[in-house]
Structures are given as C-alpha cells and as structure tokens.
Amino acid sequence: MNIIINEELRAFIDPLSASESAALERSLLAEGCRDALVLWGEVLIDGHNRHELCSRHGIPFRTVQNAGFSSLDDVMLWMIDNHLARRSVSDFQRGVMALRKKEIVTARAAHNAGVKNAAPAPGAASVPVSMPGAVPGSMPDPAPDSPPWNTREDVAKAARVSSNTIGQIERIQKAATPQLVEAVRSGTISISAAASVASLPQSAQIAAVAGGRKELQLAARQVREQKAGSRAPKEAPADEASVLRAQVTVLRQKIDALEQENAQMRSLLASAP
C-alpha cells in the first residue's frame, strides 16, 4: 500500500511530547492499531503519529477512504475542525488552527468572487479538480464554503477562547521567535505572557526562553511595567475635577479654622500668670 505523507497537512498536527509518544507506542504494541487511518486517495489525512509508529514496529493497520473533498483546502478545513473539537488541544493550538481556517475561508471566498466576476473565454470548458487516486467521473460535488469569518470574535468563538486571546496569538505568530512559540506551545509560558515577550528583540526572546519559566515571567512583567509607565495619565472628567476642587476648598477652610484656634491658644498661654 502506497501512502503519501503531505508535509503541509502533517504540519497541522503538533508533534507529540515524549511522554505522549511513549504512551501511544505502548498502546500500539500491546493492543495493535485499533482505529483506521484515514486517506484521501493515497494521501494520509488522519493518523500521522500512529502511521509512523506502526511503520517503525511493523504493526498492521487498516485504512479507510474519505472521498468527500474536492481540494486540498477541503482536507485542511476538515482536519482543523476535527482538532478544534478535541478537548486535549490547548487554547494556543485551537487559536492557531482557527486563524488558519480564517485564512483558508477568506482566500476561498475571494477566489470564488473573482471566478464569478470573470467572464469565461469563448468556447472555454471547465476542468474538474481531481482527487488523488480518484476514478474519473466519481468526483463528488464541491463542498459548500463555510461562511466567511469577518471578525476576530468569529475566530474566537470557533477556538473557544476570548477575542483578546486571539489578538495575543496573532502577535505571537507575527513577532515571536521559534523558541518562544515552542515555549507557549509546550505550556512553559502563558499566551498573554508570550505576547508581551514577543515585543522584545529576537535576541532577548531567545535569552528569556533559555532562562526558563521564571526568566520568561520576569521578561513579560518588565514589558508590561514599561508599557504601563509609558502611558500618559488620563485627565479627570469635568465632574470629577469639580468634586476634587470642592474637597480642596473644604480642607483649606478646616486648615484656616485650626490655625485660628492655634493662635487663640498661643495668646491664652502667653497671658497666663
């Protein structure tokens, strides 16, 4: 059986930790591969870790076909939805996958809009997209597009995180070094702290990661304190300023009264025999 590993699809799956890989390996050796690997033609789309371990140890496995895709983008969207539904996926991983889905859906919507607006050339015929290994004429109808995600809130809802968290993940994707990304992926640093550290120069990010959890937390705190210190103080609202002025007037009156009382006391003491 010829199974093709598409590296772009494989990149959707975060590598297992050492303990997770060892646990899966023990399970496969003891019980065999109980769940079938999913193929699209000859392309593996689900079960990459099981396939690697089964191939290493010569463990038999079954495969099933999922032919309900008309393009690689369809496969990617299916894989993303599968992983978004899993409880074991971290908030960071869900956010990254939801943002990736937004990119695919947005690009597809723009492409479809361009195709609809483009006038077909005289005598031109449409050419169907073939699935790897598909039998001619057996291609299913193209899957309908998911509704376009126009807001950060849409992405956050799919990822089951806050829109603020999605914004932080976007900052991490744009500015974080691979070392910092790995730190947040492994749980060494929180998403919010990693977003702060990502604003530092790359050399400082790498040094913070090398210093471990405490050094990362310290770097994040320093960035936040620096940002807080650079913010201009807000002006008090007009009504609040009026209240403050009235309080100052009352305090001044009390001070004047106390000063008069002190003067009287000093006068009495001076005249005492």
- Residues 146, 201: one domain? no
- Residues 90, 166: one domain? yes
pLDDT over 90, % of the chain = 45
* Number of alpha carbons in the 13 Å side-chain half-sphere of residue 12: 26
- Residues 181, 165: one domain? no
pLDDT exceeds 80 at position 92: yes
The span from the CA of 96 to the CA of 13, in Å, is 11
- Flag whether 263 is in a domain: no
Residue with the larger pLDDT of the pair 84 and 5: 5
- Flag whether 5 is in a domain: yes
pLDDT exceeds 80 at position 271: no
The mean pLDDT of 27-33, rounded to a whole number, is 96
For the chain, what is the domain count? 3
pLDDT of residue 140: 39
pLDDT exceeds 80 at position 269: no
pLDDT over 70, % of the chain = 79
The span from the CA of 10 to the CA of 45, in Å, is 8
The span from the CA of 94 to the CA of 89, in Å, is 6
Q: Is the pTM of this model over 0.75?
A: no
pLDDT exceeds 80 at position 95: yes
- pLDDT level of residue 118 (50, 70, 90 thresholds): low
Using left for φ > 0, alpha for ψ between -120 and 50, and beta otherwise, residue 41 falls in left
- Residues 94, 152: one domain? yes
Residue 151: domain span: 70-110+142-170
Amino acid at 265: M
Which sign does the torsion angle of CA 92, 93, 98, 102 carry?
Answer: positive
Lowest mean pLDDT: which of 46-60, 118-132, 147-161? 118-132
- Residues 78, 42: one domain? no
- Flag whether 223 is in a domain: yes
Tokens found for residue 37: 């690997």
- Residues 27, 78: one domain? no
> Mean pLDDT of all residues in the chain?
82
pLDDT exceeds 90 at position 197: yes
- Flag whether 236 is in a domain: no
- Residues 147, 63: one domain? no
- Residues 190, 212: one domain? yes
pLDDT of residue 50: 95
The span from the CA of 5 to the CA of 237, in Å, is 62
The mean pLDDT of 42-65, rounded to a whole number, is 95
The mean pLDDT of 222-251, rounded to a whole number, is 70
- Residues 153, 225: one domain? no
Tokens found for residue 176: 């974080």
* Number of alpha carbons in the 13 Å side-chain half-sphere of residue 75: 22
- Residues 101, 156: one domain? yes
- Residues 94, 184: one domain? no
- Flag whether 92 is in a domain: yes
User: Could you tell me if 129 and 71 are in contact, meaning their C-beta atoms sit under 8 angstroms apart?
Assistant: yes
- Flag whether 89 is in a domain: yes
The span from the CA of 22 to the CA of 28, in Å, is 10
- pLDDT level of residue 241 (50, 70, 90 thresholds): low
Tokens found for residue 272: 């005492």
The span from the CA of 58 to the CA of 177, in Å, is 38
pLDDT of residue 141: 40
- Residues 100, 30: one domain? no
pLDDT tens, residue by residue, 142-175: 444 445 566 788 888 888 999 999 999 999 999 9
- Flag whether 135 is in a domain: no
Last residue of a domain, one of 231, 247, 265: 231
User: Could you tell me if 61 and 28 are in contact, meaning their C-beta atoms sit under 8 angstroms apart?
Assistant: no
Which sign does the torsion angle of CA 56, 58, 64, 65 carry?
Answer: positive
- Flag whether 186 is in a domain: yes
pLDDT exceeds 80 at position 68: yes
Last residue of a domain, one of 67, 89, 123: 67
Give 4's strand partners.
Answer: 43
pLDDT exceeds 60 at position 235: no
SS3 per residue for the chain: CCCECCHHHHCCCCCCCHHHHHHHHHHHHHHCCCCCEEEECCEEEECHHHHHHHHHHCCCCCEEECCCCCCHHHHHHHHHHHHHCCCCCCHHHHHHHHHHHHHHHHHHHHHHHHHHHCCCCCCCCCCCCCCCCCCCCCCCCCCCCCCCCCCHHHHHHHHCCCHHHHHHHHHHHHHCCHHHHHHHHHCCCCHHHHHHHCCCCHHHHHHHHHCCHHHHHHHHHHHHHHHHHHCCCCCCCHHHHHHHHHHHHHHHHHHHHHHHHHHHHHHHHHHCC
